[in-house]
Amino acid sequence: MDSAITMGTTTVNTMASTMANTMEEALSLPVTIRRARRDDLPELEWFGLHTPHREIIATAFRTQERGQGALLVAEVNGFPAGQLCIDFQRKRTLKRGTLWALRVFAPFRKLGLGTRLVLAGEAAVLDYGYAEAELGVDRDNAGVLGFYDRLGYEACGTERGRYSYRTPDGDVVHVAIDQWILRKVLRRETAWRPAAPSSWAATPPPGR
């Protein structure tokens, strides 16, 4: 559920360089997957990259506060380097949790944070009492299908529609949805469990 955000090349390169310079040190520290706190919300905008999506992030957090969803963050050295939203209500009649807005800040990609977030999300779905997880992949983002295939997700349909959000400047943005829907049956006996469930501390899952 992301729209395209254009940033200056110099700004992006500077951000990436700054983060990359400390990446080895940061990743030598524990990675913690946990539920977001209110004071995380400004940092989840990632230096302005997702500031236009402030309303979306805030809505996901309020859904968590109502117990109808979850907003997970992957914290590395105090920085929320990844995030994942979960909706427990959208497919509640099917007892299926919906994972959406999986994001990993660019300098931290290809390091397993996305996998850890998805697996922690599946654990949250199981803890809610559901046995299936579902997610959507935009048709113009087919390159990620292999990632979800390796995690056991299978295509089960398509979805088209539209959603809207308001930017901090007051502009209303309308976004078209054209997605493949992927589904996975979850089994508690084979699910990966964090070492410390109360804090969602993420140790690497076996074989990942």
pLDDT of residue 30: 80
Distance CA 134, CA 99 (A): 6
Are 112 and 25 spatial neighbours (Cβ–Cβ below 8 Å)?
Answer: no
Alpha-carbon distance of 90 to 121, in angstroms, equals: 15
**195 pLDDT tier (thresholds 50, 70, 90):** low
pLDDT at residue 132, as a whole number: 98
Helix spans in 2-161 (H): 9-21, 23-27, 54-65, 113-127, 145-150
User: Mean pLDDT across the stretch 147-171?
Assistant: 97
Task: Give ∠ CA 53-56-58 in degrees, rounded to 5.
Answer: 110
Q: What is residue 61's predicted lDDT score, i.e. its pLDDT?
A: 98
Across the range 133-138, mean pLDDT stands at: 98
**pLDDT tens digits, 63-83:** 999 999 999 999 999 999 999
The average pLDDT across 132-151 equals 97
Report the DSSP pairing between strands 132-138 and 96-104: parallel
pTM of the model: 0.79
Q: What is the pLDDT of residue 39?
A: 96
Angle at 39 between CA 74 and CA 67, to 5 degrees: 75
22: phi then psi, degrees, rounded to nearest 5: -110, 5
Please state the domain extents for the chain: 30-185
The whole-number pLDDT of residue 14 equals 43
The pLDDT-based confidence of 188 (bands split at 50, 70, 90) is confident
Computed over every residue of the chain, the mean pLDDT equals 84
CATH number of this structure's domain 30-185: 3.40.630.30
Q: What is the pLDDT of residue 16?
A: 41
Helix (H, G, I), strand (E, B) or coil at 174: strand
Contacts of residue 51, defined as CB under 8 A and 6 or more positions apart, other chains included, come to: 45, 167, 168
Q: pLDDT of 100-121, one tens digit each?
A: 999 999 999 999 999 999 999 9
Structure tokens at 94: 């099917």
Phi, then psi, of 91 in degrees rounded to 5: -120, 35
